[in-house]
Amino acid sequence: MPDKCVLGHRCGVPYPGWLNGEHPTVAQGVVTLKVCFNDAYGSCCGWEEDIQVKNCTSYYVYKLKSTNGWYFRYCGNGGAGKLH
């Protein structure tokens, strides 16, 4: 999941979600972080949702909350880890 603002109308939806913070280290275990979703006014963080993230050395595991997939969706990032 990207950890920088994702512009609106990316990831197949008007309001894409991105991790607002750094991915955890292996030593940190499971951490709670915020995901920000764009809004209709161009704000990078018009709506927030808490998720849990774990670093499994070569990939990340995300415990995501349900979103309205038609308008809101979590973005993946092929370089920073795998979306599970």
- Each residue of 6-60: pLDDT tens digit? 988 888 889 999 999 999 999 999 999 999 999 878 899 999 999 999 999 999 9
With H, G, I as helix, E, B as strand and everything else as coil, classify residue 1.
coil
Instruction: Look up the pTM and report it.
Output: 0.84
Using CA atoms, how far apart are residues 27 and 15, in angstroms rounded to an integer? 32
Using CA atoms, how far apart are residues 68 and 74, in angstroms rounded to an integer? 10
Phi, psi dihedral angles at 28 (to 5 degrees):
-75, -20
Task: Give the number of other Cβ atoms within 10 Å of residue 56's Cβ.
Answer: 11
Using CA atoms, how far apart are residues 30 and 32, in angstroms rounded to an integer? 7
